[in-house]
Amino acid sequence: MKNTGYFLYLLLLGIWTGGIFMFTFVVTPVIFKSFDRDLAGSIVGRLFPGYFFFTLVAVALAAALLFFAWSARAETAFRASLVLVLIALLTALYTNFSLHPRMQSIKQEITSFEQVLSDHPSRQAFRRLHAQSAVLNLVLLADGVALLALATLSRR
């Protein structure tokens, strides 16, 4: 990668992984420890559209920088990075435009997570989608860390 492009790529990967890390392991747990489950879920639910948009934009910009700024495209590191960034882009698109809207729709059917029984069909559907969302969020984090590692190791 050219120096400026490489710097911007690393900066973007740092913002991407740092943002996911902070939201997942700091912000969300603090909210759920500070408020009752329904209020915490409501707060986090209101933050999700911005969070998912943030990840989509970060991934898309990383893909663009990777494609346009990498200087030796035949490198194995470039090909591996391209695969990882495409996986992240598809994951972010799916999360933004399919998974999250379905979660929001089901969440509106649930009046209260504290009052609706856990075996209620809406709760079970939400639980499945939430688990999928959590796994995909960790995939995006691991993907970003792997991209950082590849970018660092390829410069040696």
**Tokens 């995006």 sit at which residue?**
140
The single-letter DSSP state of residue 96 is I
The residues, ordered by sequence, that sit 6+ positions from 33 with a Cβ below 8 Å of its Cβ are none
- pLDDT tens column, 76-88: 888 899 999 999 9
73 pLDDT tier (thresholds 50, 70, 90): low
- Is the confidence at residue 115, as pLDDT, over 60? yes
Mean per-residue pLDDT, 15-20: 97
pLDDT band at 155 (very low <50, low <70, confident <90, very high): confident
For the record, the structure tokens of 96 come out as: 């933004």
User: Quick one: average pLDDT of 57-75?
Assistant: 81
If you ran DSSP here, which 8-state letter would residue 115 be given?
T
Q: Which two tokens stand for residue 88?
A: 């992240």
Question: Model-level pTM?
Answer: 0.91
